Amino acid sequence: MDITFINVCDFIGTLAFAISGIRLASAKHFDLFGAYVVGLTTAIGGGTMRDVMLGLSPFWMTNSFYLICSAIALVWVIIFRKLLVRQNNTWFLFDTIGLALFTVTGMEKTLQAGFPFWTAIIMGSITGAGGGVLRDVFINEVPLIFRKEIYALACVIGGFGYWICARYIVPPLYCSIICASLVILMRFLAVRYRLHLPVLKAEDESKKAQN
């Protein structure tokens, strides 16, 4: 197997996603097994949801690469625990590369399955951000992407970029590159300028809305 640029991005993205899951699990005093499962879920959860909805076999079921990546992430966290905070910028970079790649992969797989573009944008966003939602459900927290700075929205914006380019007959490869670049750009701007969406104000009696 030739190692391509995509493979490298996939590796560092999976690593970064798994490490984010393992770190949060360790903050909640999960044991090694639990931390591994949360890390793995963060890395493969989004793509699994996408594949199940597309009616495909989840991608990791025929490729042990992602399980091994998550194991490397676990070993990394154990060994470099005290250095992880200092590596935060690196992990942010890797996480962003992963987010961009996963969004593009999710979109392409959905378009290949014959679904419309807006479905592809949703599937791209689920591929990128869905694992983090599952991770937060497992550690029993409100999913961060619903409350904090722009994360899943970067996937949506990247997806719209793909769509617009494809409309103007830009070749698919360039659409993908533009989509990934937009995701990365949005994430950097969001973190650099602390961009976030407005929070909906609560009504006093909003509890009554629940059925």
The interface with a second copy within residues 93-122 (CB under 8 A) comprises: 95, 115-116, 118-119, 122
Please, which residue, 160 or 174, has the CB nearer to a second copy? 160
Burial letters 67-77, b for 16+ CB under 10 A, else e: bebbeebbebb
- Judge residue 115's burial from the number of C-beta atoms within 10 Å of its C-beta, 0-12 exposed, 13-18 middle, 19 or more buried: middle
The interface with a second copy within residues 115-154 (CB under 8 A) comprises: 115-116, 118-119, 122, 132-133, 137-148, 150-153
Work out whether 92 is an interface residue with a second copy (CB under 8 A): yes
In whole angstroms, what is the distance from residue 66 CA to residue 147 CA? 28
The interface with a second copy within residues 20-39 (CB under 8 A) comprises: 20, 22-35, 37-38
In whole angstroms, what is the distance from residue 146 CA to residue 3 CA? 36
Candidates 58, 71, 72, 188: give the one binding a second copy (CB under 8 A): 58
The interface with a second copy within residues 165-194 (CB under 8 A) comprises: none
3-class secondary structure, 133 = helix
